[in-house]
Amino acid sequence: MSHSPVENVVIIGTGCAGLTAAIYTGRANLSPLVLEGPLPGGQLTTTSEVENFPGFPEGIDGFQLMDNLRQQATKFGTRFETTLVTSVDFSVMPRKLVTSDRVILAKSVIIATGASPRMTGIPGEKELYGGKGVTTCATCDGAFYKKMEVAVIGGGDSAAEEALFLTRFASKVYLVHRRDSLRASKIMADRATSHEKITCVWDSVPVAVEGVEKGAVSGLQVKNVKTGALSTLPVKGIFVAIGHVPNTQPFTPPLDVDHNGYFKPAHGSHIQTKVPGVYVAGDCADHVYRQAITAAGMGCAAAIEAERWLAEHGG
């Protein structure tokens, strides 16, 4: 496995946190190397309209926002490489990042790997995932369900947003939630619950995805948790929106995570880790706010810390 020259700063992830860190370290002339994983641009590329990112009073398309950040990072000398980090060695200096085809050496590292969609684990979900009716992205797959009935599972902002987006295509959207009120912000919850095409299926958990034997979703079996009654929603598409799991696995150990798998920062900071020169930013380290703008803020803070650290330790 080949080694490469020692990088000043390697940023892992191309979501809001990673690209903001790239803009800042690029402007500091550190020539950052950004490692891009399986979802270039991160979760915002799977969202439709972003209405709450400051500076865009009319809202902005999530993909466009990420493309803008990428262009801004490129302008300041960021280099991109598509690869997955599988393990790290932070006990040595420079730090070692092991990918499938090489070892990358770095004086400082910013981990901004984000989070991946959580799945329900019910029978049929895995078998019919991706192109067969089960998906986690309405923006990507919604148009395949024109004039069909679909279900969204979840009760947070993501579920409300997915359900509202799907009303553009689907004839009816069932919003299946395990409680009797949405966790989503009031504005999103009001929009979803008052939409004529959305039917809320309260107090209900998904039990099984039907249609495995035909290779395509034919229904979603749900159970009312109060009555125990089982019923089947006659849907062709199932959109799972029940939160995310942080992508921290390749870094643990040596880094610490909490009981939900989020990075646990050290030294009373929200971005420093116990390893000098190694920082975390965005959804992989934030289970509280999880917003595009807070991820960008963490990316900025991590970049400034990395810059200071390199100045003190020979960057």
Phi, psi (deg, nearest 5) at residue 186: -60, -40
Both tokens assigned to 302:
């991590």
Nearer to ligand NAP, 2 or 194 (CB): 194
| Total Cβ atoms within 10 A of residue 63 | 16
Q: Which residues are catalytic?
A: 137, 140-141
Nearer to ligand NAP, 52 or 171 (CB): 52
Write down the least CB distance from residue 285 to ligand NAP, Å: 14
Candidates 129-137, 147-155, 190-198, 225-233 — which segment interacts with ligand NAP by CB under 6 A? 147-155
Nearer to ligand NAP, 18 or 155 (CB): 155
Interaction of residue 124 with ligand NAP, rule CB under 6 A: no
- Name the nearest CA neighbour of 240 among 140, 126, 152, 142: 152
Interaction of residue 156 with ligand NAP, rule CB under 6 A: yes
- Name the nearest CA neighbour of 131 among 214, 215, 37, 213: 215
Q: Which residue is nearest to ligand NAP (CB)?
A: 156
Q: Which of residues 230-269 bind ligand NAP (CB under 6 A)?
A: 241-244
CA distance linking residue 122 with residue 94, whole number of Å = 44
Write down the least CB distance from residue 86 to ligand NAP, Å: 26
Alpha-helical (H) ranges within the chain are 16-27, 62-75, 138-141, 157-166, 186-194, 292-312
Both tokens assigned to 124:
């049929």
Interaction of residue 173 with ligand NAP, rule CB under 6 A: no
Write down the least CB distance from residue 35 to ligand NAP, Å: 24
- Name the nearest CA neighbour of 284 among 245, 246, 243, 242: 246
CA distance linking residue 161 with residue 159, whole number of Å = 5
Phi, psi (deg, nearest 5) at residue 62: -60, -40
Interaction of residue 120 with ligand NAP, rule CB under 6 A: yes
Interaction of residue 223 with ligand NAP, rule CB under 6 A: no
Interaction of residue 123 with ligand NAP, rule CB under 6 A: no
CA distance linking residue 29 with residue 285, whole number of Å = 26
Interaction of residue 46 with ligand NAP, rule CB under 6 A: no
Interaction of residue 294 with ligand NAP, rule CB under 6 A: no
Candidates 12-20, 149-157, 163-171, 299-307 — which segment interacts with ligand NAP by CB under 6 A? 149-157
Interaction of residue 158 with ligand NAP, rule CB under 6 A: yes
Q: Which residues are within 8 A (CB) of 73 and not within 5 positions of it... i.e. 6 or more apart?
A: 19, 22, 23, 26, 32, 34
Size of the site for ligand NAP (CB under 6 A): 19
Write down the least CB distance from residue 185 to ligand NAP, Å: 6
Ramachandran category for residue 41: left, alpha or beta (phi over 0 → left; psi -120 to 50 → alpha) = left
Interaction of residue 136 with ligand NAP, rule CB under 6 A: no
The 3 state secondary structure assigned to 124-168 is CCCCCECCCCEECCHHHHHHHHCCCEEEEECCCHHHHHHHHHHCC
Among 19, 22, 97, 159, binds ligand NAP (CB under 6 A): 159
Binding mask 49-78 for ligand NAP (x = CB under 6 A): ---x--------------------------
Q: Which residues bind ligand NAP (CB under 6 A)?
A: 52, 120, 153-159, 161, 178-179, 183, 205, 241-244, 290
